[in-house]
Amino acid sequence: MKNIVIIGASDAGISAALRIKEIKPEIIPTIISADSFPNFSICGLPYYISSEVKKWENLAHRTADEIKNAGINLLLEHTAQSIDTGKKQLTIAAKEGDLKTKGYDKLIIATGGLSVKPDIPGLNHPGIFFLRWIPESIAIDEYIKKQKPETAVIIGAGYIGMEISEALTRRGIKVTVVEFLESVLPSVDTDIGNKIRIMLMKNGISIYNGISVHSIDKTNGKLVIKGSDNFEISGDMVLVSVGSAPNALLGQSIGINTGIKGAFKVNLKMETNIPDVYAAGDCVETWHTLLQKYVYLPLGTTAHKQGRIAGENAAGRDAEFAGSLGTQSVKIFDMVAARTGLNEKEAAQAGIKPVSADLETWDHKVYYPGAEKLFIRVTADRTSKKLLGAQILGSYKTEVSKRIDIFATALYHGITVREFSNYDLSYTPPLSSPWDPVQMAVQNIEKKL
């Protein structure tokens, strides 16, 4: 019976263990978790900060007991200190400092990611936070309760920055967002980001784009952020959310090849170059289906898929990760922004000749109460006439997130623009139109090809 050890108890690690149990219930995988918060929904942290989730404990996908009861050996507050790949043995430190060794037949490294700490002076002042794990969330919540900040500055306008700008606004804090790029949510095209910026401003958030932050000082009890073009703003708290990087030190120490940002290079079986060592999740490079190359794209959905594949292969099967399309959705106040595949900007960067068309239309027949406008941009390859990607903006109630998934499903199969109209999608007047808006948006691009 195989001895499988997994380092990391977040999305990828737990997915690997659960998949092992599904296909080989007799195996008892060991998971080593540095903290005491296994299998938490990291993506849910903003909703604890906002107080929409009252107890952080509720953010657990599963409790430690549920994981153990599934037949998994879960070592909490244990840190994998070193790996001897010759002996196939780990040295593990318990919280109290005791060291022990543990052998493995197959090892899965799922050490996740880290918040990028930008190279600016003053990051250690009290009141400055990063957000990635439960302890940071608890610290932010406690700071808000005790210090009662009236103003907050968020550095970085990606997914986390956007979600936290809403969360802190809900806590009654006046929020300012400072972003280096020219629009918010850089994962969508700039003009779509601008639509989101306008919505944020309507919700009382101030946004400064095109600012490079140079320093943070503490002056008269306020945190003062200074940046390019004589930018200066102060706040009672600061959240820095300028991206993720792989937590890859342990793996690097055993000679795993690394690529973008230092992430582990893996093949589609999630194997590293070290025999019997797999890696998955935010610590690895991810194969992008459309770009046909590896990228660094740390996402919970991808971590689950990669973990599942690593677990399946470690347990003796032969599975391959199908790749990512970079599908993402985010709810910000009452709006949802979603994307899949390549946007106009990314396609052009990849040397593809993109053509895009925009459609603004009702989410359902306008005669039925509650219809709201959806904005859909579809991007296609001018040469192959295949769909490349889609971006959708709309209200929370307009099925934006599952509409983007129709595109994601279509992209997986390499659909052409023309064939997209063949899909037999559902229609009832309160929820769609005889051609769903996603099909109207694609028909719209046909005219340009």
Q: Which is nearer to a copy of itself, 55 or 146 (CB)?
A: 55
What are the CA-CA distances from residue 423 to residues 117, 342, 355, 378, 439 (Å)? Answer: 46, 21, 22, 16, 8
Residue closer to a copy of itself (CB basis): 10 or 151: 10
Q: Which is nearer to a copy of itself, 85 or 409 (CB)?
A: 409
Query: C-alpha dihedral over 30, 32, 33, 38, to 10 degrees?
Result: -10
To the nearest 10 degrees (0 to 180), the angle between helices 400-412 and 437-446 is: 50
Instruction: Choose one: 88-96, 181-189, 215-223, 406-414; the region binding a copy of itself (CB under 8 A).
Output: 406-414
Q: Which of 34, 111, 403, 442 binds a copy of itself (CB under 8 A)?
A: 403
Can you tell me which of 53, 116, 199, 449 binds a copy of itself, judged by CB under 8 A? Answer: 53
Among 172, 191, 428, 448, binds a copy of itself (CB under 8 A): 428
Report in angstroms how near the CB of residue 434 gets to a copy of itself at its nearest: 5
Options 28-36, 76-84, 231-239, 432-440: segment touching a copy of itself (CB under 8 A) = 432-440
Dig out the tokens for 76 from the structure: 């909490």
The label of the residue with tokens 């999740």 reads 281
Answer yes or no whether residue 391 interacts with a copy of itself by CB under 8 A: no
N-term to C-term CA, the chain:
57
16 phi, psi to nearest 5 deg: -60, -45
CA distances (Å), 430 to each of 193, 296, 315, in order?
29, 40, 47
Coil, strand or helix: which one is 401? helix
Asked if 217 touches a copy of itself (CB under 8 A), the answer is no
Among the listed ranges 102-110, 111-119, 188-196, 300-308, the one in contact with a copy of itself (CB under 8 A) is: 300-308
Helices marked H in 294-419 — which ranges?
A: 300-314, 344-349, 400-412
Of 57 and 191, CB closest to a copy of itself: 57
Which residues, 6 or more positions from 437, have their beta carbon under 8 angstroms from its beta carbon?
359, 361, 362, 363, 374, 376, 403
Give the CA angle between residues 394, 400, 401 to the nearest 5°. 135
142-201 residues in contact with a copy of itself (CB under 8 A) are: none
Q: Is 77 in the site for a copy of itself (CB under 8 A)?
A: no
Q: Any bridge partners for residue 4, and if so which?
A: 106
d(CA 338, CA 403): 9
Among 213-221, 225-233, 365-373, 381-389, which window interacts with a copy of itself (CB under 8 A)? 365-373
Tokens representing 291 are 């770009």
Q: Is 440 in the site for a copy of itself (CB under 8 A)?
A: no
**Contact indicator for 5, 33 with CB cutoff of 8 Å:** no
Binder of a copy of itself out of 99, 135, 427, 448 (CB under 8 A): 427
Is residue 367 part of the contact set for a copy of itself (CB under 8 A)?
Answer: yes
Please check whether residue 131 is in contact with residue 243, taking contact to mean a CB–CB distance below 8 angstroms.
no
**Cα-based torsion angle of the residue sequence 7, 262, 309, 21 in order, rounded to the nearest 10 degrees:** 10
Using CB under 8 A, which residues numbered 329 to 348 contact a copy of itself?
329-331, 336, 338, 340
Confirm or reject binding of residue 447 to a copy of itself (CB under 8 A): yes
Is residue 305 close enough to count as binding a copy of itself by CB under 8 A? Answer: yes
**Is residue 301 at the binding interface for a copy of itself, with CB under 8 A as the rule?**
yes
Residues that bind a copy of itself in the complex, under the rule CB under 8 A = 11, 22, 41, 43-44, 47, 52-53, 58-59, 289, 299-305, 308, 322-331, 336, 338, 340, 365, 367-369, 396-397, 399, 401-406, 408-410, 412-413, 419, 421-432, 434-436, 447
